[in-house]
Amino acid sequence: MPVPTSPRAPADPLAIFGLLKPHFRALDQFLHGQLEQFEPEIRDMVAYCVDTSGKRLRPALVFFSGWQGEDVVPEPLVKLAAVIEMVHLATLVHDDIMDQADLRRGKPAASRAFGPDTAVLLGDALLAQALHIAAGFPTTAVCRYVSLSTRQVCTGEIMQTLARPDTPRDLRYYRRVIELKTAELFHVSCRLGAHLGESGPEFEAAAGTYGRHLGTGYQIYDDLTDFFGDEAKIGKTLGTDLASGKSTLPLLTLLERLGPADAQQLRREMSEGDTRQIGHRVAQMREFGVFEAVQDAIRSEIDSALRAIAPWSTTPTGRLLGQLADLLTHQATSLRKG
């Protein structure tokens, strides 16, 4: 296998994505080439979903875990990145239906653009095409891991959807949901990227562990943005977690720090999706140090991710994955508080 070239360490944390310009260009070409594989009646809808993707963090994990150099864009990694991105896009389409979200990446969510019934089937079509591509790899590992991850993501969403007012939504429940919904897809991105990069079974396992912790940290960060983010910057509707009755770490942390009566009232708001007091709840989060406590949880996950790949920290791949973890730290630290 070719010897990977050492990446330049960018001073700007966001500049790490600049290393992936040729990779993302190839990914865009592949994804848009896939539009022809869909039936003509839904191609415009699929294109709409593909064009609402963000920084493509999961494909970035694929490319960095299987890194061969800035100017080396292996076709198997491009195909794998496309599979992961399609699965992710499908979950976003489904998430926005259940959350009744208005925006996705600054545009109307697919459920708003095409209607929720159509969006359900559109997400299904994206999942089906992702698995179709995965089945074309010469190794069965891709299809096996991707299909397992897809099932687990769906399980996490089902757990949230079926949660009743009497469901014990504690920290253990929260961790289990994000392990399934978010961390698993990060895990498979890193593990399969390392597998296709032929880095050996030890690094494959370590990269998968790194991805699982990074995914957990990223979901906690995303949950924090739902209360402290800037809707114009992050491109999605704020307050959807409370509106949809999700028990996220900011809310669970606030519950622990409120008096009994106020905590009971917040539980009622969470179970009913009542957002009328959201401004008051955000003010309480500031007052009781919830923002800082949740940031500490993010940093803990990032530290665990970095420990997993510490033996490879001096390799090009290890340095890149380390920089990606640093980027999440930077974003969590600089998140707008008010």
Region 79-98: what's the mean pLDDT?
93
| pLDDT band per the 50, 70, 90 thresholds, residue 95 | confident
In this predicted model, what pLDDT tens digit does every residue of 114-168 receive, in sequence order? Answer: 999 999 999 999 999 999 999 999 999 999 999 999 999 999 988 877 776 666 6
Query: 3-state class of 33 per DSSP?
Result: helix
State residue 221's pLDDT score.
Answer: 95
In this predicted model, what pLDDT tens digit does every residue of 239-265 receive, in sequence order? Answer: 777 887 788 999 999 999 999 999 999
State residue 167's pLDDT score.
Answer: 64
* Vertex 82: Cα angle to 79 and 84 (nearest 5): 115
State residue 336's pLDDT score.
Answer: 58
Residue 236, strand partner residues: 104
Q: Which residues have CB under 8 Å from 151's CB, separation 6+?
A: none
Answer whether 332's CB lies under 8 Å from 292's CB. Answer: no
275 burial type by CB count under 10 A (0-12 exposed, 13-18 middle, 19+ buried): middle
- Domains located in the chain, CATH noted: 15-310 (1.10.600.10)
Tokens 């609402």 identify what position?
52
State residue 96's pLDDT score.
Answer: 87
Query: 3-state class of 98 per DSSP?
Result: helix
Helices (H), the chain: 21-34, 43-50, 57-65, 75-99, 110-114, 116-134, 140-162, 171-178, 184-196, 201-228, 231-234, 240-243, 249-257, 260-272, 278-287, 290-308, 316-334
| pLDDT band per the 50, 70, 90 thresholds, residue 333 | confident
Residue 7 pLDDT greater than 80, yes or no: no
Q: Which residues have CB under 8 Å from 220's CB, separation 6+?
A: 178, 249, 294, 297, 298, 301
Type of residue found at 204: E
User: Mean pLDDT lowest for which of 183-197, 220-234, 249-263?
Assistant: 220-234
| pLDDT band per the 50, 70, 90 thresholds, residue 209 | very high
